[in-house]
Chain A
Amino acid sequence: MVFTSFEFLGFFIVFFFLYWFVFNVNVKIQNLFILVSSCVFYAFWDWRFLLLLVGSSIINFFLGIFLYKSSNDFHRRLLTYFGLLQGLGLLFFFKYYNFFVESFKELFASFGIQFNVHTINIILPLGISYYTFRTISYILEIDKNKITPTRDWVIFFNYVAFFPTLLSGPIDKPATFIPQLEKKRSFEYNEGVNALRQILWGFFKKIVIADNCARFTNEIFDNFHNYHGSTLLLGLYLFAIQLYCDFSGYSDMAIGFSRLMGFNVTKNFNFPFFAQNIADFWRRWHISLTSWLTEYVFTPLSIALRDYNKVGLIIAIVINLTLCGIWHGARWSYIFFGFVHGCLFIPLILNGTLNKKKLLPKGNALPTVKQLLDMFLTFTLIVLSFAVFKSNNFHEAVTYYAEMFSGLFSKNAYVETFKFLLWENLIFLVVTILIFILIEWYGKEGNFAIEKFGIKWIKQARWAFYLTLLLFIYYFAGEKQQFIYFKF
């Protein structure tokens, strides 16, 4: 039941009316209804893993209360470690066990030693990386005395398993989300309209741009030996746009559906392709994950290493970004991706520009040549690193890079790329992407690009714009693709 399916839309319409018109008697009943709906939603995907989600929630609910009650430092530490072990243990077992076994096998085999542990056939429970990070955050915040645990199990379960954000985030912190579950919510018309706008924009990004890009990127990546370097480079640019529209489109929908329920969910993207250096990019991309890692990995590390000045900062950032790579899954390519991104911070740390916030021109103003150049170079750097997300393994990514760079200036390369652009109307998609980027540029001061787009126009013109988006979604929908970030 993905957000873009008719099943989900049917589910949500029924939910919406019951939520606001039947179960709005009091906040407790409304919360219970959200919880039941979240369980139904999750069970639609795989009911077996619902037990895992419930089990993990029960453990952390009681753990939070025991931790708060305990005044003995040793007991507190023990309970916190237990919470971490439970969360990370789950992740390790489902996400990383096979990777470690295989890596150890290869390592021992290279020394001629047989390592007799077998891999197991495990399916990754959907959303586990997201809800586990929520439970860990809850325990660590209580340990740091930043929040008090909730005594209402319905509220806690809703924090862990809130269905709009359950499968792919954004990952909310307990301090911002739990209070919203505790107070009475009311439906605001303007907020509802704005939420629908955000959902519409999310649909457009996912169905029109990401799913159409997928057709071409699948073709290029599946048959990359048959294409010249310049077409492979085009494939990477298209994939970066696809990944962004897929994941930020999902996030827009998740935030939009939450807003229709009266919740403010944390922002996940802030126009990352307008970033002017790598640090700026990571402040704008998958914000809820990076702020989670900043809070619980980078900050303690950089505090512990503060006596080593710049070297300490470099170590903290490289470890943080490498872990960010590993979060995506058990593959060497993700580890490499995170490590490389960490290393890209080094020049900024060494020349002291890391703290300098990069500003973008206000309103409708165009960027300066320097800003444009910085944006293009940063975007290209990011684009080049994304091959690891699309390739099936590290070796394939390396081969892709090798063929791309060696074939960039080969004979007829650009003629072939031009012909590829004419294939199956790719050129039409490229023009749509360029218009999309322009809309994103003019809407970059909002929470999402079309939040204020056309707000000063006459009503008919604004509605014509929304209708155009709907027609695009209906007539130019790409072949349905699973959301990329579901597998993480």
Chain B
Amino acid sequence: MEKLEILDIINSIFIDVLENPEIKLTEDTHAGMIEEWDSLTHVQLVVAVEKKFKIRFTSKEIQSWKNIGEMVDSVMEKIAK
């Protein structure tokens, strides 16, 4: 799966979970840039991404992401295995 394809899927997950159809993610997007994305919704987003791609992140991986790009990289790494 291509990076952009993953980004698109994650974008639709964000729209669903955060109930905001206007979200447009880029690799540089981080939590400070989307109002609804806070510590509470973060876990819901992670769970939704894990379910969609049928993968499981470690706690350390989740906490080390600085932006969406790093989340996408983690997904790519997992599905490639």
Docked-complex contact B59 and A355, CB < 8 angstroms:
no
Whether A299 contacts B42 in the complex (CB less than 8 A), given A306-B47, A357-B35, A357-B36, comes out as: yes
Q: A144-B63, A303-B62, A306-B47 are in contact. Are A294 and B35 (CB under 8 A)?
A: no
Q: Are A146 and B40 in contact (CB under 8 A)?
A: no
| A300 at interface, CB cutoff 8 A | yes
Q: Which residues of B contact A196 (CB under 8 A)?
A: none
Report how far A303 CA is from B62 CA in the complex, Å. Answer: 8
Q: How far is the CB of B44 from chain A (nearest CB, A)?
A: 8
* Complex alpha-carbon distance, A294 and B44, angstroms: 15
Interface string of A282-297 (1 = CB under 8 A from B): 0000000000001100
Nearest A residue to B58, CB-CB: A303
**Would you give the shortest CB distance from A429 to chain B, in whole angstroms?**
37
Q: Does A195 contact B (CB under 8 A)?
A: no
**Given A300-B59, A303-B59, A304-B59, A355:B64 Cβ within 8 A:** no
Q: Which of A97-145 contact B (CB under 8 A)?
A: 144-145
Which residues from chain B contact A302 at a C-beta distance below 8 Å? 39-40, 43
User: Which residue from chain A places its CB closest to the CB of B50 in the assembled complex?
Assistant: A306
Q: Pick the contact of A299: B36, B44, B63, B66 (CB < 8 A).
A: B63
Residues of B within 8 A of A355 (CB): 36, 38, 40-41, 44
Query: Count the A residues whose beta carbon is within 8 Å of the partner chain — how many?
Result: 16
Q: Is residue B46 within 8 Å, beta carbon to beta carbon, of the partner chain?
A: yes
Q: Which B residues touch A313, using CB under 8 A?
A: 40, 43
Cβ of B56 to closest chain A Cβ, rounded Å = 10
Residues of A within 8 A of B42 (CB): 299
Name A306's contact: one of B38, B41, B43, B63 (CB within 8 Å). Answer: B43
Once bound together, how far apart are the Cα atoms of A441 and B68, in whole Å?
37
Chain B residues with CB under 8 Å of A354's CB are: 40
Instruction: Kindly provide the distance from the CB of B36 to the nearest chain A CB, expressed in whole angstroms.
Output: 7
Residues of A in contact with B (beta carbons under 8 Å apart): 144-146, 294-295, 298-300, 302-304, 306, 313, 354-355, 357
What 10 additional pairs, Cβ within 8 angstroms, besides A306-B43, A306-B46, A355-B41?
Answer: A144-B64, A299-B39, A299-B42, A300-B59, A302-B40, A303-B46, A306-B47, A313-B43, A355-B38, A357-B35
Chain B contacts to A: CB under 8 angstroms: 35-36, 38-44, 46-47, 59-60, 62-64, 66
